[in-house]
Structure 1
Amino acid sequence: MEIISQISSFALTFIENTGYLGIFILSALESAAIPIPSEVVAPFSGFLASTGKFSLWGVVAIITLANTVGSVILFVVGASGGRWILEKYGKYILIHKRELERADEWFRKHGGAAIFWSRLLPAIRSIISLPAGVARMNFLKFTLFTAAGSLPWNFVLAYLGYKAGQNWESLKPYFEKLNSLVFGVLVLAAVWYLWKHLPNHKKEKAA
């Protein structure tokens, strides 16, 4: 938690000193899976908009553009290096060729909705670009749904900071609870996946 607090403090100082450019850089890094909390960047930027330093819609637009750029970077990493690594070594973490083929097919059918709704969820929003890249989802579709899903999330966070004003930090406990909930769901999903794909479980089903 201390590391997150230090990152948050750095982010606030960086935004105050660099303005819109700082917002863009931090938001792009966050979407490229660098641990920069959007729950700090967007509300704080919204608060600064309430003081007249920024425009609220300018903040929302900059963060959304940055999210899209950062997500594209992570998508490219997944489509190139990530795909190659999983094809060669995925079997050691229970990801085989058939799982990759299923992921490809799933993203072809449901990728747009998955990207849109994932952008509205903490934690997942920053990493969904990687599996989308690994599955080689249609790039244009990925980009459009990333921007579309990022916009409402960014608006809500920035608007809450704008309305809360100097008390914007009072929002943090609520975001932390939401993050914990989503993280818990992810852990349960990972446990379920491992249980379903363990060799012993498959033998029991066959028997």
Structure 2
Amino acid sequence: MEKCSSIRHRHPPHRRRGFTLIEVMVVLVVLAVLLSVGAPSFTNLIRNNRLVSAVYDLRGSLSTARSEALAQRVFVTVCSSNDGASCSGTWEDGYIAFTDFDGDGTLDTGGGGPDDLVFLAEVTGVRDITINLAAADASGRLRFDPQGTALNNNGTFTVCDVRGAGEARALFLSNAGSARSLEDTNGDGIVNLPAAAGGGNVSCP
């Protein structure tokens, strides 16, 4: 009986090859270049989203306050608040709206006070923005009457960050009580105020 001889082919051992130091350095340099180009754009995108979100939140809050005034046939006051219980602080701290039955511009809830808090808006995570209100009413408060009219205090909210007026956003509240976002109407790169607010460009502190 013949024996079958098996022929085994021997392959040279596989050599595992890693990255050389030069290759690693090249990759790191390429990544550094990409990050240096892309990081500013990404940062600006985040900042723009914060500004736009702040304006949308303000517009929604003013619309809610006006709707409450119409629904309950009462006066509603909107003001900045850093404690959620009184008109205080700055608008970037937060703001409140409340039914203002006695018209004193103060939230009277304790001791049998008749006023009710309509909403509390907390502006969180955006400490690098400022929200300024330029209004006809020097008190810095906005008031809606039972017909939804903004009482003697049409105003403009300007939302800014460290980039200044060139990237600012703005919201205008008319005497009729409607709020709208403002735009750059003359192509100079800065949002423009309507004639009712004096015209010209918005400014940042």
TM over 0.5: no
TM score, norm. by length of structure 1:
0.26
Q: Which has the higher strand share?
A: 2
TM score, norm. by length of structure 2:
0.26
Indicate the structure whose relative CO is greater, using CA pairs within 8 Å and at least 6 residues apart.
1
